[in-house]
Amino acid sequence: MAEADLTFLGEQIKRMQSDLRHVRAEQLRLEADVMERLDTFERSVDARFDAVDARFDAVDARFNSIDARFEQVHRTMAVNLDVLLAAIKGREE
């Protein structure tokens, strides 16, 4: 009777080992799938951040352009004011 029990236990251990190998293989497959999904998600997030950065760069370029235009208008007005003041001063003399 003891031998039959040992045979039964041996078969059960073999089955458990086989099941454990299947579980480990499934775990590795799931880990690989999760890592692949995380990589895809990370690339997607990085692409979106790159797009947002590009938009901010475009906005900065527009602000720089506007600043340059204001500077140009300021210089033109300063020159015009100098010309006008010189003309007024010339009339007074």
Confidence band, pLDDT 50/70/90 cuts, at residue 84? very high
Return the exposure string of 38-77: e unless at least 16 CB atoms fall within 10 Å of the residue's CB, then b. Answer: eeeeeeeeeeeeeeeeeeeeeeeeeeeeeeeeeeeeeeee
Question: How many CA atoms within 13 Å lie on the side-chain side of 34?
Answer: 6
CA distance 69 to 85: 24
CA distance 86 to 40: 69
Percent of the chain at pLDDT > 70 equals 96
Confidence band, pLDDT 50/70/90 cuts, at residue 19? very high
pLDDT at 2: 61
Confidence band, pLDDT 50/70/90 cuts, at residue 91? confident
pTM of the full structure: 0.57
Average pLDDT, stretch 42-70? 97
Identity of residue 32: A
